[in-house]
Structure 1
Amino acid sequence: MSKQTTRREVIKGGVALAGLGALGFPEWGLSAMAQGETLMEFTDLPEGGVNRAPTPDRRRLDIRDIDGPLTPADQWFTTQHYGHPEIDRATYRLRVSGLVDSPLELSLADLRGMPSRELVFGFECSGNGGPQNSLSSNGRWTGVPLRTVLERAGVQARAREFVFFGADRGDEEVVFRTAAPITVEQQYGRSLTRDLALSDEPFLAYDLNGEPLSVHQGRPLRLLMPGWYGAPNVKWLSEIHVQEDQYLGKFQTHWYRTLKGEMVNGEMKWKETAITKMRLKSFIARVTAMGNRHKVLGVIMHDGTPIRSIEVKVDNGPWQSATLDPSTPEKYSWKLFTYDWNGATPGEHSVISRVTDTDGNVQPTAEELEVKKTFLERNAQQARTLIIA
């Protein structure tokens, strides 16, 4: 079991707020709902609220229920293309092949025997959007750096592309010009360039929040690219193939991309870019009341660049500074923030947030993103509407 005490356990266990500091949870940063706090009603949700399990192999997070920096493993969002493959952990082997000096077949025990590392990393699906933003979560992962495995295999000088295949697979139609579509079986695959694969960032995870990965999260092993969207974080990782040529698989070059206009030399150029690092984004998760006081809780998704500021605006009022929750300091953790909303009046209101990082990137408005013609990477500012009783 995980040695970390969760906020849920603190609240349910009846620990006095005055003692939270001793457990590492500053009272002013507590994102769990306190006793006596009432959830305000959002008016922008579909009838019936958030469908947490639309199909047996998919999960969504109800962000109104966030009660701490880490998302419980059984609430983590998950989505995939080919369902859940059945993998026997006792016979599982991670194969490393291609342009390496020593091809490898590593068991789960082999991987667990390597020097381990922990990584707090939150990410979202590139198709995640408001108002629900239910395809986002945050966790503490345990595993081994990808570079450790690649160094054991010995990467050859000609190697330029590192392809990661999951055990999940299905039939796909490949279209080539005017020829009839060709149906072939394909695995889910993504790739990294040499400089990225051999950097200190990529991570092979086998535990989430102190427990072995569930089948929803890619048991027994998944690739993690800190600061990136979910698509590159290949679940049920079964093969790493090292090659010289660029990998052009469906989920690398076709399915996950953005079409966006950009002015170049006074002319609009339409550019297609790959889905990799997360675009800076914030969203409102809930609004609560305790007596006549109201508190806004929100979430920031980001690529690891430090946050300079987070602001909240109510109705047509001015932007006001919000407070980052000190419980989410890790570089790649999602960031929680709170805003004390004073003087809220009964009736319907709108609440919106915007975030700025230390590189000067500001979360864009919907109008600024009108030049983006595809629906992935949805990071526009979005107002939430709610009723104050």
Structure 2
Amino acid sequence: MATEQPRESRHEEIAAICERKAGGVSETRDEADKYTVVGAARRGTYANWLTPIEEHFVCHRNDIPDIDADAWAVSLRGDVDADSNTDLTMAEIRDDYPTVAVAHTMECAGNGRGQHRPETGSVQWGYEAAGTAFWTGTPVSSILREQGVKSPAGKWLTAIGGDPSDGDDVFARSIPLSKALDDCILAYEMNGEPLPEEHGFPVRLIVPGWYGVNNVKWVEELRVTDSMVTEGSLDRPGEHAYWQQVSYRLHPEGVEPDALETIDTFDTWEQLEGAVEHPYTFDVNVMSLVGAPDGESPVTPKSDGTVEVRGVAWAGDDAVEKIEISADGGESWANGELFGPEYTGAWRLFRYDWEPDVGTHRLLSRATDELGRRQPASISEPEAWREALPNDEFPWNEGGFAANAYEPNGVEVEVEKN
């Protein structure tokens, strides 16, 4: 079983990452003292569309592997053409296939875990585990179709990371093959620079619009199968299914989810509404954050009496349809404006011209996606579960996953006289 024992080396990794990122990130509390976790250090990160590498969050549980990029290869296994080259070097991945760039808002599935009461899980993220970058690499579809993979119907793609575990488990995640063939890439650049080691160098799976856990770092194997990874389903030593079938599942306290071979819907919100008993964290739930004002210092209105409120809103595979702003802690709401770049799987910028009175105000934002699903106000009590969403609450869950409540992300702003 995957362990949560303290990992001494995480402290050295975190210190090195923070130094490289030059103050753009800060360490996040981890009760298990296991994960390497740093998040955006300032709310102002969320006032801009592109997240610099220096401000992009990092999360992983194993040590960063010692990589020789020239010797690294990605093995292709399972339902592929056995007569083809099934071990691709980085040179082949870069040079023998098309190169594309995708914009992707990556959000850790545990973002907002620290907002659960009582606390749950180990990494106590607030809102800082989200960022949008351009990722450059090779379309997964180009590789798999050359390997004879045609119809995605009913099939899955399992990605296995090459990070060394201190236990006997492997980091393996399965996504539906239909998603893999649609828009996923094997990335080797981030924001036009070589992929940093903490972000998966030399190659990382990018799954646009889906939670970060699906974006496997240090990919060493891709496997096409008829089901999600289950225990013993990989012809390799160790435990295989923990990160798919146990962790990163949404369930009430004290419940052990059944391992499923397949499901019919990959939308996390739809699963929460009852499509899957204990949902998997795939497509990102609708979410938003105010980036400016950041609450760190008082603001003074412009000559016309307004202060620009700016932030970001996202909804995974779905489009953001509406953004609303409250300047009185949720008592009243006004419509904001979506603007800027518009890519599937990436967030939108929003703005609102606020006419404040002098004094202290609590700014909130809430987004609604194209399916009419709006961010809930708060996180429920543990016993609520299925009753939470209809009551404008996100269900408290034992792992603290997929939270998107707007009240915990509010910002106190002091307005001074012009």
Match of 1:122 in 2: 105
Of Structure 1 and Structure 2, which has the larger fraction of its residues in strand?
1
Match of 2:61 in 1: 81
Which structure's CA Rg is the greater one? 1
Shift, 1:224, TM fit: 1.2
- Distance in 2 (CA, whole Å) between partners of 1:99 and 1:238 is 17
Q: 2:333 aligns with which of 301, 319, 322?
A: 319
SS at match of 1:65: helix
* Mapped contact 2:158–2:228 kept (Cα < 8 A): no
Of Structure 1 and Structure 2, which has the larger fraction of its residues in helix?
2
Q: 1:146 aligns with which of 140, 153, 159?
A: 140
- Distance in 1 (CA, whole Å) between partners of 2:316 and 2:179 is 15
Match of 1:271 in 2: 277
State whether structure 2 residue 374 is matched by structure 1 residue 362. Answer: yes
- Distance in 2 (CA, whole Å) between partners of 1:323 and 1:192 is 34
- Distance in 2 (CA, whole Å) between partners of 1:162 and 1:371 is 29
CA-to-aligned-CA distance 1:312-342 (integer Å, 9 cap, x gap) = 011155211112232x322222122122211
Q: 1:290 to 1:274 in 2, by over 3 A?
A: same
- Distance in 1 (CA, whole Å) between partners of 2:154 and 2:48 is 42
- Distance in 2 (CA, whole Å) between partners of 1:141 and 1:286 is 26
What amino acid maps onto 2:131 in structure 1? S
Q: Percent identity?
A: 27
Shift, 1:258, TM fit: 0.8
Q: 1:246 to 1:353 in 2, by over 3 A?
A: closer
SS at match of 2:279: strand
What amino acid maps onto 2:363 in structure 1? V
Moved more, 96-105 or 366-375: 366-375
SS at match of 2:170: strand
Match of 2:43 in 1: 64
What amino acid maps onto 1:385 in structure 2? E
Moved more, 356-365 or 232-241: 356-365
Shift, 1:87, TM fit: 1.1
What amino acid maps onto 1:203 in structure 2? I
- Distance in 2 (CA, whole Å) between partners of 1:143 and 1:270 is 33
What amino acid maps onto 1:252 in structure 2? Q
SS at match of 1:74: helix
- Distance in 1 (CA, whole Å) between partners of 2:174 and 2:146 is 19
- Distance in 2 (CA, whole Å) between partners of 1:50 and 1:213 is 17
Match of 1:98 in 2: 78
Q: What's the TM-score once normalised by structure 1's chain length?
A: 0.75
Q: How many residues align?
A: 320
- Distance in 2 (CA, whole Å) between partners of 1:119 and 1:322 is 27
Match of 1:333 in 2: 346
- Distance in 2 (CA, whole Å) between partners of 1:257 and 1:83 is 23
Unaligned runs of 5+ in 2: 1-22, 30-34, 116-124, 231-240, 254-273, 379-390
Shift, 1:301, TM fit: 2.5
- Distance in 2 (CA, whole Å) between partners of 1:370 and 1:94 is 39
Shift, 1:370, TM fit: 5.4
- Distance in 2 (CA, whole Å) between partners of 1:193 and 1:269 is 16
- Distance in 1 (CA, whole Å) between partners of 2:156 and 2:343 is 30
Match of 1:52 in 2: 26
Q: 1:260 to 1:320 in 2, by over 3 A?
A: farther
Moved more, 161-170 or 282-291: 282-291
Shift, 1:75, TM fit: 2.0
SS at match of 1:238: strand
Match of 2:321 in 1: 308
Match of 2:361 in 1: 349
Shift, 1:161, TM fit: 3.1
- Distance in 1 (CA, whole Å) between partners of 2:245 and 2:412 is 37
- Distance in 1 (CA, whole Å) between partners of 2:61 and 2:339 is 35
Match of 1:107 in 2: 89
Q: 1:281 aligns with which of 283, 287, 297?
A: 287
- Distance in 1 (CA, whole Å) between partners of 2:323 and 2:176 is 33
* Mapped contact 1:258–1:274 kept (Cα < 8 A): yes
Unaligned runs of 5+ in 1: 1-48, 173-184, 262-267
Shift, 1:99, TM fit: 2.4
- Distance in 2 (CA, whole Å) between partners of 1:301 and 1:164 is 25
CA-to-aligned-CA distance 1:110-162 (integer Å, 9 cap, x gap) = 11111111101112101112694111100011111111111122238899332
Shift, 1:384, TM fit: 2.6
Shift, 1:355, TM fit: 1.0
- Distance in 2 (CA, whole Å) between partners of 1:81 and 1:259 is 22
SS at match of 1:339: strand
Match of 1:14 in 2: none
SS at match of 1:148: helix
Shift, 1:378, TM fit: 0.8
Shift, 1:50, TM fit: 9.5
Give RMSD over aligned pairs: 2.8
State whether structure 2 residue 397 is matched by structure 1 residue 373. Answer: yes
Q: 1:188 aligns with which of 134, 159, 171?
A: 171
* Mapped contact 1:99–1:159 kept (Cα < 8 A): no
